[in-house]
Every structure is written in C-alpha cells, then in structure tokens.
Chains A and B, each alone.
Chain A
Amino acid sequence: MSALSAPARRLVRRFGTGELVLHWGYAVLFAVLLLTGLGLYLPPGQNPVLARRELVREIHLDAAIGLLLLPVLVAGAWPRSVAGFWHDVERFDADDAGWLRRVVVPRRLRRRPLPSQDRFNAGQKLNSIVVAAATVGFIVTGCLMWQGEHLPTSLSEAADSWHIWLMLAMLPLIAGHLVLSLLLPSTRPAMRGIITGRVRLDFARRRHAKWTARMAERGEPAD
C-alpha cells in the first residue's frame, strides 16, 4: 500500500513565489474592493456602512492603488516567476482549443477524455486573461469616476455604468473559481498548489499531463 501511494504523494512545484504573491495579493485586494464597493453602492437596509462613506471610500481607493501597484511590484521582485506565468497563460494550442470545446460537454457524454493540458488548462488561461483585462477596466473606469468633477458628466456616467457592469461580469467568474477550488472534489487538490506552490504529482499527471510530461523530459524532480 505504501509502495503504491508513495509516488502519488510526491509533490511538484506548480507556482513560483511571485505567482503566489500575485494571486493572494490580488485575492485580498479584490475582496476588499468588492466589499467596500458594495458599501459605497448598496441601498439603506442592506448597507451596514451607509453612514461611514468617507472611511469606506478611502479604503476602496487605497485598495485600488494597491491593485495598480501589485503587478508592478511583484514583477519587479520576482521577474522570472511573473514572466513564466504570462508565458504559460498567453499561449494556446490545438489541445487548448479542443479542451475549451469539450469541457462544456457533461463528463458522461464525452466520448474521449479531454485533451491533455499544460501547467494551466485552457479555462485557467482564459480566466487569467479576462481578469487581467477586467482589472484594467476597473482601474480606468475607477479613475474616471474619481476625477468625475473635471470631466463631462456623460463620461463619468459611462465610467460608473461600466464599473458596475464589470463587477457584475466578474461575479460569476469568481463564484466559478471558488467552486472549482474549494468544493469540486476533482479540482480541489489545486488549492494546495496555490497555498504552498506545490501539488501532488498524481493530480498533476491527471489534470496537467502535458506539463508533467514536459517536466519529465527535462528531468525536473518532484519533491
């Protein structure tokens, strides 16, 4: 039993320190921005911080500045880790296209398994890119709202509308992200990776076979 389970329990490094800091820094800042944003937005009866607008607004703006600085600081401190992340996220191949087409088909109806995936599957790549673009959108529209008194009202109004629409568009992405990482048994082992940087080798082989094969080719060791 121990001989069989031993290789499965071996760990491989999936994320570098820069990636971990970027993920958790983003997660914390986004949570603060979402909560304070709701505090600036929700109506009476649903809003426990209605009477603390100045404080809530200050926290929201400080967190937004943090969100702007985070990728710059992380890229400066861990350039190889961030470059590796972007390299792996932005490249899509035929397997990614197949994965995206077939992942929406319920598992029992799939005639073949999903194409093997690299360190990030195609869904994770898409999610990262959409979140990055939305973040730019939040920052641009937030700056327009912040400087609203110096702009035509139609522009600050458009920025306000898009800020809200972006938030609404992000909610299902975040909900899906949380379900996959915390609740779904088949994907939950990934949570260990984003906490410690390492995932179990058997999970990596099952979900990211192309990546583990590449590592094996290069002779990279698992822990």
Chain B
Amino acid sequence: MGDLWVPGKPIGRRLFLGLLGAGAAGLAFTKWSYRADDADSGNVAEAVPLGPMGQTPDIESLIGQHPNILYPERFRYYSVADIPGYSERSWRLIVDGEGLDSSLRLRFNDVTAFPNVAYRSTFRCVNGWRVRNCVWRGVRVRDVIDAAHLNRRAKYVTFSSGDGIYTDSLSLQQARSDHAILAFELNGSPLITEQGRPLRVIFPDMYGYKGVKWVRRLEVKSHRDLGFWEQRGWEIDAYVYNPSAVTG
C-alpha cells in the first residue's frame, strides 16, 4: 500500500475534483467534435432537387420513434397543448390579416399546389438537441402570402397552431426568405402527427420553436405578435448563428 492510503487522507476531494475536471474536458471535447454544427447564414440550408413523393428513405421512422442511447440524435416531440386532429375534409389554412388585400382559405391540396421546394438542413432545438440531414419538402411562405396580395401595412407574419395556443411570428423579410417554408413532408414521408401533420413551419435559420406545428393560420400584420415562448422570455429572433454575420 503506498502513501495514497495513509489513513484519513482526503482522497475523496481529489476524486471529486478529478471527476469535475474529466467532465469539463469531456464537455470541451464533445463541443469540439460538434463544431461542424455551428452554422452560418451560408450553410444553414441547402436546396435539394425534388424527388417523387415517398421515394426517399423514411429515416423519420428510424430516428423518430426509438430513443437509442448510443445514438441520441432524434426528434424530441414537443407540444404545449393537446395535439390537434387532422381531417383532410375539414382542414383549412387561413391566410389573412390587415397586411393583405385579400384572404385565403386553402385546402391541403391547394397548399401543396404552390410551387414545391425542398431543403436539407439540420433541425436545431434551442435546448441543444439537433437532427442532421432533414430534407423538408413544402411551399414557400412567400408564395402563399404573396398570393393574397401584400399591402403597405404588411410588416410581420403570425403563425398559429391548430392547438389554439401555440403561436410564433417572423418579420415579413424573414418570412419571405427562401428558407421559410410550410413543410408537409420530411425525408420523403408526410409529416407524422407529432411532427405537425399535415403542415408546419420550417425556418432552419432559427431554432425549432419558431417553427409552428399543426399550422392553421397565417396572419400578415403591421405589428409583431409575441409567440408562445417569446412571451416567456425567449428571443424573438432565434438565429442559430450570429445574425450580425448575416449579409444582404
């Protein structure tokens, strides 16, 4: 037995501090290994060619449903209210507000009839989890609201969920960017219920809470409505990168 085991030596203190040091080193190493996830405005989303619906692998079913302790990268489904049901017959997307000269009531087929786009992006939650390589197919918010004829009062877009509680908003400029879409398909499959079926907002430049699920209404307004989490202190502009680096 060496000096280490002299009776009464405070080995525990050293072990405690050693564990904290090892933990800090582990955290630093993990951050370094995730460095590619630090996005910038140039790489946050990548346009991908449209394929036939349902032809790409359904990785959602693999990574969405089964937590895997060795591979924790999966969606964690969040909701602050009961998940609204969906009926193709009665479902409508309402597009209205003082910033529009007309209003729209769109069936799901009317929404998907707008020009389709697809983007590959990393879905980032503000709490720290992310899912890489999500291919979202949908229609641009820009195309939908422009169809109702923007007027001079159009400054912000409020998105409301069919759950009657969750809302969020984007500035008109953000909502009209290429990346802001109303998505109805993830990785080749229609959205599952917990993912926002049939339609959710995806804006990969910002954290996931900006992407309202089960979206049922777009209101174009002259003033900003604070979203559900923003009323509770979250950032209004939840960029996943330093927004001061945004150009153009």
| Measured CA separation A54–B232 after assembly (Å) | 10
Q: A120-146 interface mask toward B, CB cutoff 8 Å, 1 = contact, 0 = none?
A: 000001101110111011001100111
A154, B5: Cβ atoms closer than 8 Å: no
| B31 and A149 within 8 A (CB) | no
Query: How many residues of A are counted as interface, with CB atoms below 8 angstroms from the partner's CB atoms?
Result: 51
Query: Distance in Å from the Cβ of B31 to the closest Cβ of chain A?
Result: 4
Instruction: Indicate whether A113 reaches chain B with its CB closer than 8 angstroms.
Output: no
Q: How far is the CA of A155 from the CA of B33 in the complex (A)?
A: 10
CA of A117 to CA of B64, assembled, Å: 49
With an 8 A cutoff between CB atoms, is B69 at the interface? Answer: yes
**Chain A stretch 129-180: residues in CB contact (< 8 A) with chain B:** 129-130, 132-134, 136-137, 140-141, 144-146, 148-149, 152-164, 168
Query: CA of A136 to CA of B81 in the docked complex: distance in angstroms?
Result: 33
Q: Say which residue of A94, A133, A140, A156 sits within 8 Å of B7 (CB atoms).
A: A94
> Is the beta-carbon distance between B67 and A53 smaller than 8 angstroms?
no
Q: Which of B35-43, B87-95, B168-176, B182-190 contacts A (4 or more CB under 8 A)?
A: B35-43
Residues 14-48 of A at the B interface (beta carbon under 8 Å):
40-45, 47
- Among the interface residues A40, A50, A140, which one has the most CB atoms of the partner chain B within 10 A? A50
Please tell me which one of the listed residues B7, B30, B34, B80 contacts residue A51 in the complex, with CB atoms under 8 A apart.
Answer: B80
Contacts of A54 in B (CB 8 A): 80, 232
Closest 5 CB pairs of A and B: A90-B12, A160-B128, A133-B19, A156-B128, A158-B30
Seen from chain B, the residues whose Cβ lies within 8 Å of a Cβ on chain A are 1, 5-13, 15-16, 19-20, 23, 26-28, 30-39, 64-67, 69, 72, 74-83, 124-130, 193-194, 207, 232, 234-235, 238, 240
